[in-house]
Amino acid sequence: MSDATGADAPIRVLIVDDQALVRSGFSMMLSADDDIAVVGEVANGELGVAAARELRPDVILMDVQMPVMDGIEATRAVVAEDLGRVIILTTFDRDDYLFDALRAGASGFLLKNSEPEQLVEAIRSVAGGNALLAPEVTTRVIAAMVDGGAQPVGAVAGGEGGVAAPAPAEIVGSPEELGRLTEREREVLVLMGQGRSNAEIAAELFLGEATVKTHVSSCLAKLHLRDRVQAVVFAHQQHLVATR
């Protein structure tokens, strides 16, 4: 992955979506930010993996349902080759693949109807090594995943019908590792499990954001977790966060 997230270089973004209007819309929107550069736009996952190998983007905006190769398989390939960090863009009320995307190693999940500012912030956050889950889906999605399908995807999302939720996520971390955390780190982990951002955690605990970031990094290191997404899963699996 490129080192484009330095002080002067823009964040390199690749857009993978089978709808031309969506690609062009995201590209035009992101071009307004000087610290973000769209380096490519492709129409399916297979082309996305090939483009990632060639362009080495920092962040890949990945649709889920696409022809030839869907976003889940493409994310799995991208993560396996360390070609960039993936943000899944989904219309969650119809998209039961979100659970598989988490297992595939995506670093972020955002709804397609999110505000432009949310997308820009997500790109910056993920490029900076963090992970991001849309507030609308964080706790109920992960809880359903951890609990092994207590409710259908449609019910989780507030939609009608839906399909059976998938099997539980792979266990990450361990109770023994949880004991390595300080009291403050445990507090931070619980708030991460609730889907709180660093700014929200800082406000809740009366800390500076830089201090919160340090605690987050320490939590991930001590628990041997890949990123913030796995921290959310771990918090639910260890019953640190109440299932809604």
Domain assignment present for 75: yes
Q: Between 81 and 112, name the one with better pLDDT.
A: 81
Q: What is the pLDDT of residues 155-167, one digit of tens each?
A: 333 332 233 333 4
Phi then psi for residue 132, to 5 deg, are: -140, 135
Q: What's the half-sphere exposure (Cβ side, CA atoms, 13 Å) at 90?
A: 28
Contact between 109 and 82 under an 8 Å Cβ cutoff? The reply is no
Which residue range is the domain that position 146 belongs to?
138-237
Domain-embedded: residue 3 = no
Cβ-Cβ contacts under 8 Å for 16 (sequence gap 6 or more): 41, 42, 43, 44, 45, 47, 48, 51, 60, 61, 62, 63, 66, 71, 74
The full DSSP string for the chain is ---TTSSSSPEEEEEE-S-HHHHHHHHHHHTT-TTEEEEEEESSHHHHHHHHHHH--SEEEE-SS-SSS-HHHHHHHHHHTT--EEEEEE-GGG-TTHHHHHHHT-SEEEETTS-HHHHHHHHHHHHTT--EE-TTTHHHHHHHHHTTSSS-HHHHHT-SS-----PPPPP-S-HHHHTTS-HHHHHHHHHHHTT--HHHHHHHHT--HHHHHHHHHHHHHHHT-SSHHHHHHHHHHTT-S---
Q: Is residue 164 part of a domain?
A: yes
Q: Is this prediction's pTM over 0.95?
A: no
Same domain, 19 and 124: yes
Same domain, 68 and 108: yes
12 and 37 Cβ atoms separated by less than 8 Å: yes
Same domain, 166 and 100: no
Asked if 91 and 63 sit in the same domain, the reply is yes
Residue ending a domain, choose from 84, 101, 133: 133
Which residues are 37's β-sheet partners?
12
Q: How many Å apart are CA 213 and CA 154, to the nearest integer? A: 34
Same domain, 101 and 175: no
Average predicted confidence (pLDDT) for the chain:
79
Residues 117 and 159 in one domain: no
Give the count of domains, the chain: 2
Q: How confident is the model at residue 147 (pLDDT cuts 50, 70, 90)?
A: low
pLDDT, average across residues 224-242: 79
For the cut 90, the answer to whether the pLDDT of residue 203 exceeds it is yes
- Range with lowest mean pLDDT among 31-35, 91-95, 144-148, 157-161: 157-161
pLDDT score recorded for residue 205: 94
Decide if 8 contacts 34 (C-beta within 8 A).
no
Could you tell me the pLDDT band of residue 91, with boundaries at 50, 70 and 90?
confident
Model pLDDT for residues 112-133, shown as the tens digit of each residue: 888 888 889 889 988 887 777 6
Categorize the per-residue pLDDT at 179 as very low, low, confident or very high, splitting at 50, 70 and 90.
Answer: confident
The domain that holds 28 is classified in CATH as 3.40.50.2300
The answer to the question of residue 1 being in a domain is no
Closest CA to 22 of 53, 64, 76: 64
pLDDT tens digits along 52-80: 999 999 999 999 889 999 999 999 999 99
Name residue 107's amino acid. S
Percentage, residues of the chain above pLDDT 90: 41
CATH number of the domain to which 208 belongs: 1.10.10.10
